[in-house]
Amino acid sequence: MKTSLDISQDKSLLWLMAIACGLCAGANYYCQPLVHSIQQYFDVSESQVALTVTFAQLSYALGLLFIVPVGDIVNKTKFIPLLMFLAAIGLLICAFAINLPMLWIGTIMTGLFSVAAQVLIPLATMAVKPEKTGEVVGFIMSGLLVGLLLSTSLAGILSNLFNWKVIYAVSAVLMVILAILLKRKLPDVPTLNMRYGKIFKSMALLLKQEPRLGLRALIGGFAFAAMSILFSTIAVLLTSAPFNLSDILIGLVTLIAVFGALATAKIGKIADQGHTVLLTWLGLAILLLSWVFLYFGGQILISYIIGYGLISLGLTIVHTSNQSIIFRLHPDAKSRINSIYMTIYFIGGAGGSALGVYSWHHGGWSMTCIAGLSLVLGSALSAAADHYYGHKKILSA
The pLDDT assigned to 19 comes to: 93
Distance CA 56, CA 366 (A): 30
* Rounded percentage of the chain residues whose pLDDT exceeds 90: 46
Q: What's the pLDDT band for 147 if we cut at 50, 70, 90?
A: confident
Query: Do residues 162 and 253 share a domain?
Result: no
Residue 33: is its pLDDT beyond 80? Answer: no
pLDDT in tens, 313-363: 999 999 999 988 998 888 778 888 988 998 899 888 888 888 988 899 899
The pLDDT assigned to 105 comes to: 97
Query: Do residues 339 and 240 share a domain?
Result: yes
Distance CA 241, CA 246 (A): 12
pLDDT in tens, 278-327: 999 999 999 999 999 999 999 999 999 999 999 999 999 999 999 889 98
Residue 5: is its pLDDT beyond 60? Answer: no
The pLDDT assigned to 3 comes to: 45
Query: Do residues 177 and 266 share a domain?
Result: no
Length of the chain: 397
Distance CA 227, CA 352 (A): 7
The pLDDT assigned to 4 comes to: 46
Query: Do residues 264 and 385 share a domain?
Result: yes
Q: Which of 160, 176, 193 is the last residue of a domain?
A: 193
Decide if 353 contacts 232 (C-beta within 8 A): yes
The closest of 385, 213, 391, 379 to 291, measured between CA atoms, is 379
Query: Do residues 233 and 152 share a domain?
Result: no
Residue 178: is its pLDDT beyond 70? Answer: yes
3-class state of residue 249 by DSSP: helix
Residue 383: is its pLDDT beyond 80? Answer: yes
Q: Which of 152, 171, 193 is the last residue of a domain?
A: 193
Decide if 373 contacts 288 (C-beta within 8 A): yes
Decide if 100 contacts 55 (C-beta within 8 A): no
Query: Do residues 276 and 331 share a domain?
Result: yes
The pLDDT assigned to 374 comes to: 97
- Residue range of the domain that includes 334: 197-397
20-27 average pLDDT score? 92
pLDDT in tens, 62-118: 999 899 999 888 899 999 999 999 999 999 999 999 999 999 999 999 999 999 999
Decide if 61 contacts 346 (C-beta within 8 A): yes
The pLDDT assigned to 148 comes to: 79
Residue 394: is its pLDDT beyond 70? Answer: no
Residue 156: is its pLDDT beyond 80? Answer: no
Distance CA 6, CA 9 (A): 7
Q: Which of 156, 172, 193 is the last residue of a domain?
A: 193
Mean pLDDT of the chain: 88
* Rounded percentage of the chain residues whose pLDDT exceeds 70: 96
Q: What's the pLDDT band for 153 if we cut at 50, 70, 90?
A: confident
Q: How many CB atoms are located within 10 Å of the residue 191 CB?
A: 16
236-248 average pLDDT score? 82
**Max mean pLDDT range (56-60, 142-146, 159-163, 317-321):** 317-321
3-class state of residue 14 by DSSP: helix
Query: Do residues 282 and 336 share a domain?
Result: yes
Query: Do residues 181 and 316 share a domain?
Result: no
The pLDDT assigned to 1 comes to: 40
The pLDDT assigned to 139 comes to: 85
Query: Do residues 184 and 268 share a domain?
Result: no
Alpha-carbon torsion 70, 146, 131, 396, what sign?
negative
Query: Do residues 87 and 126 share a domain?
Result: yes
* CATH code of the domain in which 28 resides: 1.20.1250.20
Decide if 60 contacts 110 (C-beta within 8 A): no
25-48 average pLDDT score? 84
Residues 6+ apart with CB under 8 A from 201: none
Query: Do residues 220 and 142 share a domain?
Result: no
Give the total number of structural domains in the chain: 2
Q: What's the pLDDT band for 159 if we cut at 50, 70, 90?
A: confident
Distance CA 9, CA 136 (A): 10
Query: Do residues 231 and 243 share a domain?
Result: yes
Q: What is this structure's pTM?
A: 0.83
